[in-house]
Homo-oligomer: A and B are copies of this chain.
Amino acid sequence: MLEGDQFVKVAKIKRPQMIDLILEQLQNAILDGQLPVGTRLPPERELASALGVSRASLREALKAAALMGWIEIRPGEGSFVAKATSEKIIQPLSYVLMFDTENIGNIMELRSILEVETAGLAACRRSEEHLSEIRETMQRMEETASRNVEEFLEYDMLFHKKVDKAAGNPVLAKTNLILRELLREANRRVARLTEGRSTAIAAHHRIFTAIETRDEKAAREAALDHLKTVAGFVLDETRARANLIASPGAEVKGLAKPLLSHTERS
């Protein structure tokens, strides 16, 4: 690419495309308040002729707008201006991170940062209802530990989801969810080990107790220990796998440098 010579700084002339213009106009209309949330857009055929474009072009724009979360298209009904939700806002993150999945160590570090703070926030903000939801999930998780690995994993995920909820920040919750999904395969390998399941249960217990007593510091410490343990499992697994694939002695990417060094703080 290397756009441009080093002498003239001309923006490459790009003929504006209909779809983009439509998209822009739609965006402006929503931002100007001309189209409040919930407003129903005119039918495609009508809107297309009003804008002076074909229905096909308009549809490409509408589809794009829908994927970006601006509108919701309901077959047989019409298109409606949608509310921006935390899911939609943070969704693009997952698209970007998808290209980095081989870099498990870095994702792990990011996750540990966020989960630690999340646990701390949950300890501060949790309500009684939050607490009982977390407790219930934890108990179900313990029950399934010796029975079904997949079910255990689901309750593991759910536990963290409930903690996220208690932390009261939907954007944070969604981000955590994405990171956990990215690491789901790694976690699955850990959960297959009996030792992995029992240590996870113990860690969740500590986290729960800390949240119950509103002890922010303890919650953060418990979460950090948990994540360190999981990271240890995962990285051992990963390293083992990597060594099977790469030449022996080859460095596993992203794991050579100090990982989780933010451990030694506070």
Contact check, A220 vs B60: say whether CB atoms are below 8 A apart: no
* Residues of A in contact, count (CB < 8 Å): 65
Stretch at the interface among A43-51, A97-105, A200-208: A97-105
- What's the Cα separation between A262 and B109 when bound, in Å? 19
Residue of B nearest to A216 (CB): B265
Which residues does A use to contact B, with CB under 8 Å? 2, 15, 19, 27, 30-31, 33, 56, 59-60, 63-64, 67-70, 75, 83-84, 86, 88-90, 92-93, 95-101, 103, 106-107, 109-110, 113-114, 117, 120-121, 124-125, 154, 158, 168-172, 174-175, 178, 182, 216-217, 220, 245, 257-258, 261-262, 265-266
The 4 closest A-B pairs by CB, nearest first: A106-B171, A266-B266, A89-B92, A113-B117
Contact check, B124 vs A100: say whether CB atoms are below 8 A apart: no
- Option from B64, B70, B97, B154 in Cβ contact (under 8 Å) with A63: B64
- What's the Cα separation between A169 and B108 when bound, in Å? 10
Q: A60-B59, A95-B27, A178-B96 are in contact. Are A103 and B120 (CB under 8 A)?
A: no
